[in-house]
Structure formats: C-alpha cells, structure tokens
C-alpha cells in the first residue's frame, strides 16, 4: 500500500512539474505600444498586463523597446481605477501618468506643468483588453522650472490585456 501511494505521489509530481515547464513551441505573447518621440517613431512591447501593481496611479503597464533591458527605452502608462471605454483623460486628472525612460536611462514624467491627453478606445476590465491613444509633453526629472529639457510624444497608442482581479 505504501509503495502504491509513493508511486502515485511521484507520478503526480512529475506530471505537475512537466505542466509548469515552458514548452519550446509556446510562442511569447507581446502587448504593444508605439509613439513618436521628438519626431522619431518608437515601438514598445511587454508580456505584462495592465494591473493594480502600480505606484503611479490606479492601474498601469510598462512597455519596453527591448523587454530584456528594462533600464532604458521604456514607456509606462498609468490610468485611474475607474477607467472606462470612451474616457478622455487630460493633464491634471487624478490617477493618470506617463513615464518615459530614454536610451540613456533618463526619466521623463508628466507633470501639472506639461500637456498630457489619453483617450480610452476600449476598456473591458479584468481579463479583457485595454486600448487607447495618447499625446504628451514630458519633463526630464532632474530639471527645475521652466522645465527646458523635455520630450514630446505624439501619435501614441497602446494595446494590452488587463489582469487585476486578484488585487482587490
């Protein structure tokens, strides 16, 4: 009897271990964002979803030019918890934020002194999709008023899954 239980336990452990292993033929799913940064087009991607693990706002997601190097060339979009399809967000609205790190790792942030507009094209909530467009003028984090060192993001768009159910 003990031998049968031990064999059953071993088989269960092997099946569980195999199911957790990433198979080579499983494609990586990337969610994307793009924008023009000071006139130069940039493409970003991530395997992360919009979630509530966010210190910037209610929900956020970070996209990267190269997901293997998260210290440079990244774009974070933060939205309020009460986001919905058709919502127009502008600078000064509670819970919105865009952060951009350039190729040198310098951080640019939206502030009350700069422009920011986000339109939510689709927001399906937990398990669904979040899609939208944006434009922004962001200031370099180490400058003081009048914020001479800034960047402009135009023609911005994003598309990502939303996953925050367990983060209630």
Distances (CA, A) of 107 to 13, 98, 151, 162: 46, 11, 10, 25
Q: State the average pLDDT over residues 131-142.
A: 90
Give residue 18's Cα distance to chain centre: 30
| 34-63 tens-digit pLDDT | 999 999 999 999 999 999 877 767 899 999
Residue 150's pLDDT band (cuts 50, 70, 90): confident
| 57-113 tens-digit pLDDT | 789 999 999 988 887 899 999 999 999 999 999 988 888 999 999 988 888 988 777
* DSSP assigned state of 166: G
| Claim: this prediction has a pTM higher than 0.85 | no
């Amino acid at each position: 009897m003990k031998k049968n239980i031990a064999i059953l336990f071993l088989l269960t452990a092997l099946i569980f271990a195999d199911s957790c292993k990433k198979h080579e033929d499983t494609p990586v799913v990337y969610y994307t964002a793009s924008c023009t940064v000071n006139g130069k087009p940039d493409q970003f991607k991530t395997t992360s979803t919009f979630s509530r693990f966010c210190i910037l706002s209610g929900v956020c997601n970070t996209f990267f030019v190269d997901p293997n190097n998260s210290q440079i060339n990244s774009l974070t979009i933060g939205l309020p918890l009460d986001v919905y399809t058709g919502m127009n967000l502008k600078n000064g609205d509670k819970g919105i934020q865009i952060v951009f790190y350039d190729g040198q790792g310098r951080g640019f942030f939206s502030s009350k002194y700069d422009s920011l507009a986000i339109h939510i094209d689709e927001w399906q909530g937990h398990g669904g999709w979040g899609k939208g467009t944006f434009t922004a003028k962001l200031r370099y984090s180490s400058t003081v008023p009048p914020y001479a060192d800034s960047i402009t993001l135009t023609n911005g768009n994003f598309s990502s899954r939303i996953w925050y159910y367990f983060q209630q």
